[in-house]
Amino acid sequence: MKAIALDPQYSRSNNRFATGGLAGQVLVLTKKSWVSGYNKKVLREGEGPIHSMKWRTDLLAWANDAGVKVHDMKTDRGIAFIEKPKGIPRPEVLLPHLVWQDDTVLVIGWGTSVKVAAIRTDSSQGLNGMQRSISAASSEKYVDIVGSFQTGYHISGIAPFGDLLVMLAYIPEEDDGDKKISTSVSSRQGTAQRPEIHLVSWKNDVLTTDALPIHGYEHYKAKDYTLAHAPFSGSSNAGGQWAAGDEPLYYIVSPKDIVVAKPRDTEDHIAWLLQHGWHEKALAAVEAGQGRTELLDEVGTRYLDHLIIERKYAEAAQLCPKLLRGSPSAWERWVFHFAHLRQLPVLIPYIPIENPQLSDTAYEVALVALTTNASFHELLLTTIKSWPPTLYSASPVISAIEPQLNSSSMTNSLKEALAELYVINSQYEKALSLFAELLKPEVFEFIEKHSLHDAIHDKVVNLMLLDCKRAVHLLIQHRDIIPPYEVVEQLLHASKSCDKKYLLHQYLHALFEVDIHAGKDYHDMQLELYADYEPRMLLPFLRTSQHYRLDKAYEIFAQKEFVKEQVFVLGRMGNAKEALSTIINKLEDIQEAVEFVTEQHDDELWDELIRQCLQKPEMVGMLLEHTVGNLDPLYIVSLVPDGLEIPKLRDRLVKIVTDYRTETSLRHGCNDILKADCVNLLVKYYHEARRGVCMASMDEEAQG
3-state SS assignment for residue 79: strand
Q: What is the mean pLDDT of residues 156-168?
A: 90
pTM of the model: 0.58
In the predicted structure, residue 348 carries a pLDDT above the cut 90: yes
Q: Give start and end residues of each alpha helix (H) in 515-562.
A: 523-533, 538-544, 550-560
- pLDDT category at 122 given cuts 50, 70, 90 is low
In the predicted structure, residue 652 carries a pLDDT above the cut 50: yes
Q: What is the mean pLDDT of residues 399-409?
A: 88
For 410, which DSSP code?
A: -
In the predicted structure, residue 605 carries a pLDDT above the cut 80: no
pLDDT (0 to 100) of residue 293:
64
In the predicted structure, residue 303 carries a pLDDT above the cut 60: yes
In the predicted structure, residue 138 carries a pLDDT above the cut 50: no
Q: What values do phi and psi take at 292, rounded to 5? A: -70, 150
Inter-residue contact 453 to 481 (CB < 8 Å) = yes
Q: What is the mean pLDDT of residues 184-203?
A: 76
Percent of the chain with pLDDT over 90: 38
Average pLDDT in the chain: 82
Q: What is the mean pLDDT of residues 663-669?
A: 84
pLDDT (0 to 100) of residue 641:
64
pLDDT (0 to 100) of residue 667:
83
- pLDDT category at 628 given cuts 50, 70, 90 is low
- pLDDT category at 183 given cuts 50, 70, 90 is very low
In the predicted structure, residue 564 carries a pLDDT above the cut 60: yes
In the predicted structure, residue 398 carries a pLDDT above the cut 90: yes
Inter-residue contact 53 to 3 (CB < 8 Å) = yes
pLDDT tens for 210-238 read 898 888 888 888 889 999 988 655 444 43
pLDDT (0 to 100) of residue 133:
45
The secondary element (H helix, E strand) that includes residue 600 is: helix 590-600
pLDDT (0 to 100) of residue 635:
60
pLDDT (0 to 100) of residue 200:
93
pLDDT (0 to 100) of residue 569:
84
Inter-residue contact 620 to 613 (CB < 8 Å) = yes
Q: Give start and end residues of each alpha helix (H) in 241-376.
A: 266-275, 279-287, 295-309, 313-324, 328-340, 344-347, 360-369
Q: Rounded to an integer, what distance in angstroms lies between the CA atom of residue 267 and that of residue 371?
A: 44
pLDDT (0 to 100) of residue 115:
93
Q: Comparing 149 with 279, which gets the higher pLDDT?
A: 149
pLDDT tens for 18-65 read 899 888 787 787 776 665 677 788 888 888 899 899 999 889 999 998
